[in-house]
Amino acid sequence: GKVRAPTHIISTISDDRGEEPCYAGVPMSSIVEQGYGVGDVISLLWFKRSLPRYCTHFIEICIMLCADHGPCVSGAHNTIVTARAGKDLVSSLVSGLLTIGPRFGGAIDDAARYFKDAYDRNLTPYEFVESMKKKGIRVPGIGHRIKRGDNRDKRVELLQRFARTHFPSVKYMEYAVQVETYTLSKANNLVLNVDGAIGSLFLDLLAGSGMFSKQEIDEIVEIGYLNGLFVLARSIGLIGHTFDQKRLKQPLYRHPWEDVLYTK
């Protein structure tokens, strides 16, 4: 038989050797001619399968909703400062991306992990939140700097409305809402945030679509695919902020002394 030389890389998501590139076996001509969207391309390259339209639509809504949130948030601030320091597009973009993490935009995977674990173990919201408190861990997906119980995040509402209409089940999201009801009874800033909404709803997408085995869902949650949605989405806004600063020919940013408490 054939003797195969050992390879240094294994790749399973795309192939560029033929006449046209293929994403998870789907040739580029089909992607273009059959009117695939960004949600389909994400499904192919991240999940290695085509997902039903309501799933790819949901992915696209996540991308659109998280593309930007104004100039004042951590990521945009870094990007703006970097662009104003005369740095190039990639430097300005990654400077903003590097702020994405447990407090800002990067709580989606942990929200999915903790909500899944708590729901699957039948913990009441009280038991879940109080056990997190005992461990000294803030509940990922809960809390916001400016959103409040009486000034909810519209993005969360839009995601919930879409899922309630199109998903076969929204049990994880409903659990996250019960957790929010409990946390809001403790403090008015402890709303379900966009990371928590996406984290819980993606669990519903994975479990309800019938496209993933239990083992695959566990692997996706364990590896942590979902922060990728925010990273991808927010790149759109961060690139926009870079162009904006360059277009406006903004000078080097220096933070005003008056806004610093100099103290010993």
CA distance 50 to 35: 13
Binding to ligand ACO by residue 62, rule CB under 6 A?
A: no
Q: How far apart are CA 206 and CA 201, in angstroms?
A: 9
Binding-site member from 39, 125, 141, 208 for ligand ACO (CB under 6 A):
141
The letter for the amino acid at 40 is D
Question: Is residue 154 at the binding interface for ligand ACO, with CB under 6 A as the rule?
Answer: no
Nearer to ligand LMR, 69 or 241 (CB): 69
Site mask for ligand ACO (CB under 6 A), range 84-103, x = bound: ------------------xx
Question: Residue 256 corresponds to which tokens in the numbers above?
Answer: 């005003």
Distance separating alpha carbons of residues 108 and 143, to the nearest angstrom: 13
Q: Is 194 in the site for ligand LMR (CB under 6 A)?
A: yes
Asked if residues 177 and 144 have their Cβ atoms less than 8 Å apart, the reply is: no
The sign one gets for the Cα dihedral 4, 8, 12, 18 is: negative
The minimum distance between CB 149 and ligand LMR, in angstroms, equals 16
Which listed residue (13, 71, 126, 145) binds ligand ACO by CB under 6 A?
145
| 107 contributes a contact to ligand ACO by CB under 6 A | yes
* Among the listed residues 186, 183, 179, 196, the one whose alpha carbon sits nearest the alpha carbon of residue 123: 179
26 vs 100 by CB, closer to ligand ACO: 100
Other C-beta atoms lying within 10 Å of the C-beta of residue 261: 5
Nearer to ligand LMR, 148 or 166 (CB): 148
Spatial distance between the Cα atoms of 37 and 27, rounded to a whole number of angstroms: 14
Does position 145 interact with ligand LMR (CB under 6 A)? The reply is yes
State which of residues 42, 63, 118, 139 lies at the interface with ligand ACO (CB under 6 A).
139
What is the distance between the alpha carbons of residues 65 and 154, in angstroms, rounded to a whole number? 10
CB of 185 to ligand ACO, least distance (A): 12
Task: Among 69, 84, 116, 241, indicate the residue that binds ligand LMR (CB under 6 A).
Answer: 69
Rounded distance between C-alpha atoms, residue 229 and residue 227, angstroms: 5
Pick from ligand LMR, ligand ACO, none: which does 13 bind, CB < 5 to 8 A by kind? none
Q: Which is nearer to ligand ACO, 46 or 104 (CB)?
A: 104
Q: Taking the complex as a whole, how short is the minimal distance between the CB of residue 6 and ligand ACO, in angstroms? A: 44
Q: Which two tokens stand for residue 261?
A: 């408490």
User: Reduced to 3 DSSP states, what percent helix, strand and coil does the chain have, rounded to the nearest 5?
Assistant: 55, 5, 40
Residue from the set 31, 73, 108, 132 that interacts with ligand LMR by CB under 6 A: 73
| By CB under 6 A, residue 229 contacts ligand LMR | no
Binding site for ligand ACO (CB under 6 A): 102-105, 107, 138-145, 187, 189-190, 193-196
